Structure 1
Amino acid sequence: MATTVSSVSKQINPEVSEVIAVAMSGGVDSSTVAAMLHAEGHEVIGLTLQLWDQNRLAGKPGVPDAPKAGRCCSLDDVYDARRVAETIGIPYYVVNQQDRFEHDVVQPFVNDYLNGRTPIPCSLCNNHLKFDQLLLTARQIGADRIATGHYARNEYDPARGRWILKRPADRAKDQTWFLFGLTQDQLAHTLFPLGHLTKPEVREVARESKLHLTDKPDSQEICFIPGGNYKQFIANYLDEQGREMPDSSGELVSTSGETLGRHEGIHNFTVGQRKGLGLTAPNPFYVLNIDATSRRVTVGPESELTSPILHVHRLNWIAIPGLNQPRRAQVKIRHVHDPAPALLEPTVGPDGSDRVKITFDEPQRAITPGHSAVFYDGDEVLGGGWIL
């Protein structure tokens, strides 16, 4: 049976008419969500968060003259979102959140790299800005809930008295790894209308809705990093802020402590990196560990890149209120990582904060400090945290 706008949206949200604010990024997914909910009879309001000035850092080394296609949150995306809103016939507003985005996402991104960690800005943005600010704005304009184009599902479980976040029907588009930080209040007031659809079905709904961006490619680059060169971005950003690049140069060492060479700064590396090490050897070296205190970068063969254990802090629990005893789960440590079976054990950090020790059944490759680890029980997201 052909996918239609009305039949799909009724399967997802068969409730009475509501006022719903749709987070419109200018992509096909969020645009289709707006069209679906409007066709269902809801009062839809389009909102776009203006997060970063795409002309910022212009003229600095490595910054392209014009924004590259494929970057999210560009001025072209705002134009596309506005045009979709006009096509559907809904009100549309742009909400300026540039200052908060810089404080909550850009600055932690830069500081993490300078301290030898590899951050995930999209998770930071979702957890600390997007859903929080969208809900606040939606309530200010009288909306009952918000809706986004994320590929995820959520539902209320009366037996547990909790809102549950679940993986979507289209596993290739699963975005739950980026959403582990959502609170119960945020989940209770958020709709994920695409959770039961595949990407081809979404594009078909967009086509039926006569949206001009039906075939628009998905965004790939980090929105605030022109050209995708994060090392150059850090240098340019610090220069703009009047800050000097800290001297974090040091030694490249083997696991036995042998000095193999020198490097120009720990921010140039991430665990699992193979290229750009400046070492010549019969077999390739990989970055195994980055020590910000000693400024040492440990390298070794790929066989030493795996580990069975990691520790996680700054936890957020969704399907359960917390972890009081060991339990089995599947753990995902990067966006393209298949959740791997593991044992979760509650621990306490030196500061008294809750932590989780994760022991995988099989050692995992390139466990990266600064990334998030998300815990699953089948389709359900138990919770997650940040890798130490």
Structure 2
Amino acid sequence: MKVRISLSVLSVIFFVLYLLLTMLMASKYLVSEAKKDICGQSSPSSCTPDLGKQKAEEVLSTSVVQPSEAGYNPPEDESKHIEIWSKAAIGWYFWNSIFNARLQEKPGEPWSVGSRRFYKYTFTFRHGPGVVPNTVPADVRYLVLILNGRTDEKVRVARQWLDLLPRLVLLQHTAVVLHGSEFCNNTWIRPYLRAHGGRVDALFVVYDDPDVNGEDIFQWPLGVATYRGFPQGPYTIDFKSPRPHSCNFLGTVYANSSRETLLKSLLSVPDHSCLLKTRQQWTESETHQSASEYVDALLQSDLTLSPAGINPECYRQYEAAALGSVPVMVADEPPVGRCRPGPGLLRRHGAPFLWLRDWRHLPELLRREAALTARQRAARRRRLLAWYENFKRRVRNEFINVIVRKFFHGEDGKA
């Protein structure tokens, strides 16, 4: 009788083990198939997200991007929730173009708010006049500030936000996206960096600042001039119809600048089909008519002449690329202030622009352009737009990689 009971017990144990083994194998198979669906790979094991290594960009651009709805969705896991407070116009480009996300305005709310989820990280973006120190969430743990540091007055306001950080008692990590000085005079922010005893773990700064080191200071794109009414998109681009103008230049011509050289070179070509409209003094705001004329010029031109202003990097390059008009630039414009020669960010990302040694070579370029067929121009337009979309994804992925590495290294155990 004892032997029978023992055998029965053993039979039950073996049967339970068999069921558990079968369930385990089935679950592994389902996970494997799910990873195939997500990653589009025949080897699901290679899909494991590793946000701090070389494969991070590929992972973020394919399997881990999980966009939320257009409006605000509360994060499922507060420990992976990053707040973004925008106090600069480049915040619109950050959210709408780089993050490819939208905002939702709610009646009675002091700001516009949006949310987007990447893998297990939720980014909540707040923008508007209501984003002030006494209204923002005081229990924030992970924070990105988007600030303006172009002028002394803007720096004063930016400092107020940075001085607020020690008073946020739950705050663990902070990053700053800074629209810096066109002369790269941004040394005022150094004491706020963690490397100098401050609370900022990572700084993303516009223009070719010599302090950019790829460790805690990174370069950020200027983007399009949303504050002057440039449309956010999506844009409708005609690839079939030829554009009526070979090139355009609508802008201010400063005395004794490379823009004067550009103008003389262009006018030396009697049969050019470029759209030209100049002025002698820059204005910060645009009328509805002038903004509309500018957008139409980009849409109707194969090339956009983009001479340096104060800085070689300007809104025009991003606006032209967004609308399929290839920017033409001088390759080695002399640096200004503390800046390095630029635009370094666009060149490092392989921008398919047309580069000249100086504007005196413009007539030769226009002669080569005249020999191109409409089909060749359309193909080039497609390549430009494809590059620009990929550029925005890469910038976003690099930003997220830095945030994950700086904010969650110890918690997630990822390099």
Q: Shared topology, TM-score over 0.5?
A: no
Classify the TM-score, shorter chain. under 0.3
Instruction: Return the TM-score normalized by structure 2.
Output: 0.26
Higher share of residues assigned strand:
1
Higher relative contact order (CA 8 A, sep 6+): 1
Bigger helix fraction: 2
